[in-house]
Amino acid sequence: MHLRHVATQQSRRILRRYPFLQRISIVTSLVTLVWIYAVWYGERTLFSKHIKACQWDKWERWPAGATPHHLVLIADPQLVDPHTYPGRPWPLSTATERYTDLYMGRNFRLINANLDPSSIVFLGDLFDGGREWAPSRAKPLKSSQRRMLQRLGVMKEDKVEKRSMESFRKAVSMPHDHVIEKKDHFLTPSGRDLKQFVHGEKGRWSTWGQQQWETDLRRFSHIFFDTDQLYPDGLARERFAAYEVRADDVSVENGANNVTWNEYATMGGKQRRVIASLPGNHDVGFGMGVQLPLQDRFKLLFGESNRIDVIGNHTFVSLDTPSLSAFSQFLPEGGETQPAQATELMYLWQPANDFMENLQVPAEKYVHDTLQSYYPSQNADLGHLHDVLDTSDERTPREKGLRSRTQLPVILLTHVPLYRDPETDCGAQRERGHALSISAGYQYQNVVTRSLSNTIVSHVSKAGDIAHVFSGDDHDYCDISHRYNIGQAQKPANDASRTTPGLTNVKEITVKSFSWAMGVRKPGFQLVSLWNPVDAEGKTIGTPLPTIQTHMCLLPDQLGIFLDYATLLGGTVVVLLLRAIVLGLRYKGNEDSGMPQSPLSPFVLPRYQGKSNGTANGFATKQEGKTKGRHRAASTSLESALNSSTNLGVQRSYTARTRSVSPAVNSYTPNSSAYVLPSTSQDQQNSAPLIEKAGFYPTVRWLDPNDDIDSDEESHIGAVSDVGEGKDEEEDSQAKWKRRRRTPSKAREAVGEFFASLGVVGVPCLCCIARRDFVCQSE
């Protein structure tokens, strides 16, 4: 009983301090638990479940003991920015940007935590409006800076412009008559300044510039390059200051701050390779819409666009097809780029074309260096022999030795897919339609032209047999096989004098977009497993097998999750509204106080007497209100207390703590200097001693302190009930009076209960959603 009494008192104290707890019920508790589970499942469990369903061992089919190289391909993140949905109002656009970043960051973290890939490669379109944000131009050199460069030997006097012009022509392989020099600017024959950025869409995005680009770059780095994202949880790593770097004097005079900083290195754990240098049409534009300032900015931050990498004993060739398409692209008026236009745009497509045509030698060099790291004793560097060289042979002895080696399988990476016939079936895993459309528009083209596709495959195949092609841009999945004439010529069995071209099947997979805001309900990424054990000569060890296996991993349907939340919200509103209506119909206010009964009233001792017993504080009183009787509230007659069977001892303790109230007079006679005592019945005068009639008080109506949690126990003293007729009662000058509270109607009680219960359910759910650690971290 003592524990029950303590628990009851503590509950009463908590309810008085936190009144909203009185709204908690079984229904609201169940609805809150359902919401917490829905948020937990939709924001954490569902994401982890999708990633774990793509575990490597669930779909790989390698021989026992194989140790493949695990690669993840991510296409078209396209960070949402003002360019993505220009018609959306501010709150909706900001929410879209926020939740797309949260969606991609959560999935990328889970990929690294659960799948633990060795390499990650992006297939372009890192940003959505990168081609529209104007880059900032470097400040021109001051005379003092020019003199300093001349003293350092970087520049020579009177030959600066000539050297810059020659280096530019050499970089773009353009004839002298196709570039006009004018005051440090390079102009095309049409008069266009190659260094000047031109805003697209008639200057629609001219108000945005380098600042917007830097903001998007910080967002991209936070999602994909942060150490916590690349190496989460158990993949602990340490960073230490490797060396100190001081700002260059030339850059200081050019406006930089003269500060020093520390270059940090990372040690411990697994080194994960990330390549994001392949540009997309949303990063630098497409074809003739590509601009050199955008190319320079992208290469400066992400690396060379045209590159070769050896990953998992495969030669990866990344090709900048958006810029290369300036040589051949679909025109709005029909047809493809004319030779005259291609010549004028040579500064755009020539670097990628030179890389593609001269791909064989550098690819073999990369393969040689890789094999030398595997077998250092058997692959010594040939170097240059002390011999007389034939000047007619352009290849060095080192290059001759490299050409004799076996090449590794080649994997081509391109942002824009290769050409295919219209209505070519993309497979059952495509989400929208069955084929990739052949179309073009402002700064985009769905596929590379047929002629350019044949040229690309022909040149890339010289670096090795093309095992696979991966592309992006379309945002949806597409799996097709191309047939190209790049194989060895074969002689028919019936006629040895004739040869037939060798047709080779080249499989291409267009990877789905990684973002849920790019027109697909179920985004995804591509898992690539590479296993090609080779000997010192680069030949596959054992039985030749397909050296590459792929698997598409789908991500959760974020829009479907939001729709589920909306459905659950509608059900919650209906349940709470029905509950409020039922409680409103059953509502009966306290006749004495005009307040609903406290939920703990059955468990506390009574501190006041009901109106039905005809007494007030232990004294008999007339209920009709015709007689204005006054009784004392400061003390209680012991005899009346003993005679009352319902007056418990706790009433004495309660009244003892109340302040005494000075007697007040109900009426005053002008002709007399004395106050007139109210008349009482003869029975009442004879029923109590004379001392009980020394002071008269108004009828005191005791209230339960639980009914009014905002006041203390003494604040209920002085609440006068309706006694008598009219408004001839006067306030006591030494007592606190308050007007009787009106009893709320059933409709008002139902509305209040509905909003109160909605708040009780909504506050915990909003707290769960607001905590990023609650919804983002993996299990």
Query: Rounded to 5 degrees, what are φ and ψ at 34?
Result: -65, -40
**Residue of higher predicted confidence among 81 and 736:** 81
- pLDDT at position 68 is 92
Reference 124, options 315, 276, 274, 321; nearest CA is 276
Tell me: pLDDT of 658 over 70. Answer: no
Reference 230, options 104, 113, 311; nearest CA is 113
Cα gap 497→491, rounded to integer Å:
7
Q: Which fold has domain 64-137+195-235+270-383+410-544?
A: Purple Acid Phosphatase; chain A, domain 2 (3.60.21)
Percent of the chain clearing pLDDT 90 (strictly above):
33
Q: CB–CB of 407/359 below 8 Å?
A: no
Average pLDDT over residues 725-752: 61
- Mind listing the pLDDT tens digit for each residue in 351-380? 999 999 999 999 999 998 888 888 887 655
Q: CB–CB of 405/439 below 8 Å?
A: no
Cα gap 405→408, rounded to integer Å:
10
- Mind listing the pLDDT tens digit for each residue in 451-465? 999 999 999 999 999
- pLDDT at position 725 is 45
- pLDDT at position 375 is 84
- pLDDT at position 76 is 94
Cα gap 341→326, rounded to integer Å:
9
Position 187 confidence tier, pLDDT thresholds 50, 70, 90: low
User: Hey, which of 277-286, 434-443, 639-648, 700-709 has the most confident mean pLDDT?
Assistant: 277-286
User: Hey, which of 147-156, 190-199, 512-521, 615-624 has the most confident mean pLDDT?
Assistant: 512-521
Average pLDDT over residues 24-37: 88
- Greatest alpha-carbon pair distance for the chain in Å reads 149
- pLDDT at position 17 is 81
Position 618 confidence tier, pLDDT thresholds 50, 70, 90: very low
- pLDDT at position 372 is 87
- pLDDT at position 485 is 82
Q: How far is CA 569 from CA 39, 468, 566, 678, in A?
A: 12, 47, 5, 63
Average pLDDT over residues 745-770: 80
Buried b (16+ CB within 10 A) or exposed e, 90-108: eeebeebbeebbbbbbbbb
Tokens standing for residue 626: 């015709």
- pLDDT at position 600 is 43
Position 279 confidence tier, pLDDT thresholds 50, 70, 90: very high
Position 737 confidence tier, pLDDT thresholds 50, 70, 90: low
Q: Which amino acid is at 323?
A: S
Q: CB–CB of 272/112 below 8 Å?
A: yes
**Residue of higher predicted confidence among 186 and 35:** 35
- pLDDT at position 248 is 57
Q: What string of DSSP letters covers 195-220?
A: TS---SGGGTTTT--HHHHHHHHHHH
- pLDDT at position 583 is 84
Cα gap 305→516, rounded to integer Å:
26
Percent of the chain clearing pLDDT 70 (strictly above):
62
Tell me: pLDDT of 738 over 90. Answer: no
Position 78 confidence tier, pLDDT thresholds 50, 70, 90: very high
- pLDDT at position 167 is 53
Q: CB–CB of 237/231 below 8 Å?
A: yes
Average pLDDT over residues 305-313: 94
Least confident interval from 79-83, 116-120, 502-506, 764-768: 764-768
Average pLDDT over residues 183-208: 71
Q: CB–CB of 131/281 below 8 Å?
A: yes
Least confident interval from 605-619, 685-699, 753-767: 605-619
Give span(s): CATH 3.60.21, the chain: 64-137+195-235+270-383+410-544
- pLDDT at position 765 is 75
How open is the CA angle 511-355-295, to the nearest 5 degrees? Answer: 70
**Residue of higher predicted confidence among 677 and 473:** 473
Mean pLDDT of the chain: 75
- pLDDT at position 480 is 94
Q: CB–CB of 523/104 below 8 Å?
A: no
- Mind listing the pLDDT tens digit for each residue in 101-111? 999 999 999 99
Query: Rounded to 5 degrees, what are φ and ψ at 513?
Result: -70, 145
Q: CB–CB of 467/409 below 8 Å?
A: yes
Cα gap 183→170, rounded to integer Å:
19
Contacts of 231 (CB under 8 A, 6+ apart): 112, 237, 269, 270, 272
Tell me: pLDDT of 643 over 50. Answer: no
Tell me: pLDDT of 667 over 70. Answer: no
User: Hey, which of 36-50, 366-380, 619-633, 707-721 has the most confident mean pLDDT?
Assistant: 36-50
Q: CB–CB of 752/23 below 8 Å?
A: no
- pLDDT at position 482 is 92
Reference 512, options 104, 3, 68; nearest CA is 104
Least confident interval from 117-131, 141-155, 347-361: 141-155
- pLDDT at position 120 is 96
- Mind listing the pLDDT tens digit for each residue in 198-213? 888 888 888 888 899 9
Position 246 confidence tier, pLDDT thresholds 50, 70, 90: low
Tell me: pLDDT of 287 over 80. Answer: yes
Average pLDDT over residues 151-171: 57
Least confident interval from 130-144, 146-160, 508-522, 665-679: 665-679
Query: Rounded to 5 degrees, what are φ and ψ at 557?
Result: -85, 95
Question: What ranges in 285-328 are assigned the alpha helix state H?
Answer: 292-302, 321-324
First to last CA, the chain: 45
